A and B are shown apart, each in its own frame.
Chain A
Amino acid sequence: MAKKKLKVRASGKRGYAVVKAILFHPMETGLRKSKETGEIIPAHYIQEVTVKHQDAEVMKVNMGIAVSKNPYLSVEIDGAAKGDKVSIGWLDNLGESAATEVTVS
């Protein structure tokens, strides 16, 4: 089974929704050296995260190598109510991507 690539939860508040996500990713900086071989570990990190509400883009988050491994992201969407659809997708520097959609609860 493929490893889960992101976990998203959206909870509705009064007039807005809080979206919390964990994106499972190594976030390799490209500056680190392998302890065994001494070779530089190639960079592998998420560059773009898109947050959508009802298919409309709300936010685009650009990430650099300074974001921690398995990035955590918490954002808030105005006007999102219970039952609305929120989706989060990421794209990394090697062209890998993943996306998921959740319902605001």
Chain B
Amino acid sequence: MNNQRRSFMRKSMAGSLVAISVASGLLTPSRVLAAWPKAAFDSKSVKDAMMGLLGTEAFEESNQIKLRTPDIAENGSVVPVTVKTKITGVESISIFALENARPLAISADMSAKARPVLATRIKLGKTSKVVAVVRANGKLFGATKTIKVTLGGCGG
């Protein structure tokens, strides 16, 4: 057995692994997606996110929107959120987590065939207000709820 060769192999293997991880670290997504609202998703403030996605930050509080979430989330990395509304002519449903580093979590564009229901799971960095914004017939309606988070879910 050639020990020198063995150790050489081991070293070169380790070297290439580092190279790969560095390369993937440099792969920042600069690709522009036509449909994906990059500016809105990259926004750090709620105002920018709402402006970028919906063109305005003003919405009308509506009791026609049901925002179902837990009151206390033990684990902030998995918080179930369900948005349901009786409003007709819904064009999109978006969910914002106001205290997150990037407030816009998800936004669904709906055709006429989609029922105005959206259920998913989001991450919350800390205790935060969560706002569901529904766009229907060109108007914006919203519902807000505060979720207490005992363990944050955005890194650390």
For B114, give its contact among A72, A75, A93 (CB under 8 Å). Answer: A75
Q: Are B119 and A47 in contact (CB under 8 A)?
A: no
Q: Are A74 and B120 in contact (CB under 8 A)?
A: yes
Interfacial chain A residues near B77, Cβ < 8 Å:
68-69
Q: Are A74 and B113 in contact (CB under 8 A)?
A: no
- The interface size of chain A toward B, counting residues with CB under 8 Å, comes to 40
CB proximity of B41 to chain A, nearest CB, Å: 4
A94 to B29, CA, bound (A): 6
Q: Are A73 and B155 in contact (CB under 8 A)?
A: no
Is B28 an interface residue, CB under 8 A from the partner? Answer: yes
Q: Are B33 and A48 in contact (CB under 8 A)?
A: yes
Given contacts A64-B102, A66-B97, contact A72 B108 (CB under 8 A): no
Is A56 an interface residue, CB under 8 A from the partner? Answer: yes
Name the prevailing secondary structure of the A interface residues: strand
Q: Are B111 and A58 in contact (CB under 8 A)?
A: yes
CB proximity of A62 to chain B, nearest CB, Å: 5
Is B79 an interface residue, CB under 8 A from the partner? Answer: yes
Q: Are B113 and A31 in contact (CB under 8 A)?
A: no
Residue of A nearest to B29 (CB): A93
Q: Are A79 and B33 in contact (CB under 8 A)?
A: no
A75 to B82, CA, bound (A): 10
Is A39 an interface residue, CB under 8 A from the partner? Answer: yes
A73 to B79, CA, bound (A): 13
User: What are the nearest 8 A-B pairs in CB distance?
Assistant: A32-B155, A66-B105, A76-B115, A74-B119, A68-B121, A93-B29, A64-B41, A61-B108
B residues near A (Cβ < 8 Å) are: 24-25, 27-29, 31, 33, 35-37, 41, 77-80, 82, 97, 100-115, 117-124, 153-156
11 A/B residue pairs, CB under 8 Å, sorted by A: A29-B123, A58-B113, A60-B108, A60-B109, A64-B102, A66-B97, A67-B106, A68-B120, A72-B121, A74-B119, A77-B113
A residues near B (Cβ < 8 Å) are: 16, 29, 31-33, 39-40, 42-43, 47-48, 51, 53, 56-69, 71-80, 93-95
